[in-house]
Chain A
């Protein structure tokens, strides 16, 4: 049985008993989506926490049959994206946050270094990841959302289309345009590096 189907069955039977399992199963991906949408660890934690709390409060009002029918992954993603919009709007109204000493307080899920890799290899991977995060952050919001759902979270196109409430073809085009823009940034960075080396 699919893990989310088992989870919705357990949630429908006893929400309070099963909710911790939902948090454990989905917190990493919800936090990741929020972090890649908002670009700030504190804002992302707030959005992910708020999304999970709202999910619990909504589930508490749902009939068992409705909980059983939920597509948990997509439903939670919709909630976290809404929270990201609210956090981003609030942040915009307050002006930029002060810079933190460590801009990215996150570590990748696969943190274990390959055998023989030293601290410099790890630092290089971290730097490369940071560059990708920065490029992603520079994408227009609609492309960024589509790329995050498809490639960072690993959703299928039909799933992403359902979450975003857009036709599948539109989501595909947004992902592809996002990838094209990322590639353009990558090429521009490469050209700059080359110019700096030959200057």
Chain B
């Protein structure tokens, strides 16, 4: 006689029920952390190379949380907890994220890096978003950001927001200089590192400061009658004999020059 599946519907015997209950297994130890990281309740951190040497990157499923100079793991975890309220666990930086950061540092602005900026004010986020627009090898003054985000008088607040940038290198706050033309402070290890990284991007910070001291805040092209920030990429092709330094936008305007539509020099900073 064969057992049929429809004539009678058997209950599981104790042995069968026990065997099936025995198929319960514990979740892999990685599951809990993966879930919490993905929803942004726990962060991972790891080291990557940068022009400033090794730096620590922290991230979760929502994006990159912080970038800091590499140091002691314990100290990093403590400061991360204090600043974000979340624990961070050591991990390998995913190659996709490491490559994206490297490409961004190389000046590829097409690469998108998601950022987790929860807990930061909308003003700070506006400042950092605007800093993202500054191309590699160029700098803008604080006043430029203030004017671009529609808060032309908040130059000092822009400087403070850049000082609080949790993701330096990813958000290139090193490309923002003081309105008087001096290099200014840097949140990732101080002004020396700012000079190093600007140098790595092909700029000469000393020459930039010397030019600012001489009053050369803007540069006009005599052939096009367009005036730019000195590091604007459109101005790099101008012949030396066409180069005209200006102290301010007003001075350039009086000389018949119009502001560049790419780097948008503004009256507030010039």
Contact = CB atoms under 8 A, between A and B. Distances in A.
B24 A109 contact: yes
Contacts of B2: 184
Contacts of A197: none
Contacts, number: 114
A49 B38 contact: yes
A110 B21 CA distance: 10
Contacts of B23: 32, 36, 108, 129, 132-133, 136, 152
A10 B32 CA distance: 19
B222 to A, nearest CB: 58
Contacts of B20: 132, 136, 147, 151-152
Q: Which of A49, A182, A184 has the most CB of B within 10 A?
A: A49
A167 interface: no
Contact of B9 (A16, A28, A147, A173): A173
A48 interface: yes
Interface residues of B, number: 32
B19 A128 contact: yes
Contacts of A175: 12
Interface in B1-58: 2-6, 8-12, 16-17, 19-28, 30-32, 34-36, 38-39, 41
- Tell me the interface secondary structure of chain B in the complex: loop
B61 to A, nearest CB: 8
Interface residues of A, number: 48
Contacts of A65: none
Contacts of B32: 20, 23-24, 27
A90 interface: no
Contact of A177 (B6, B30, B39): B6
Contact of B35 (A52, A151, A183): A52
Interface of B: 2-6, 8-12, 16-17, 19-28, 30-32, 34-36, 38-39, 41, 61
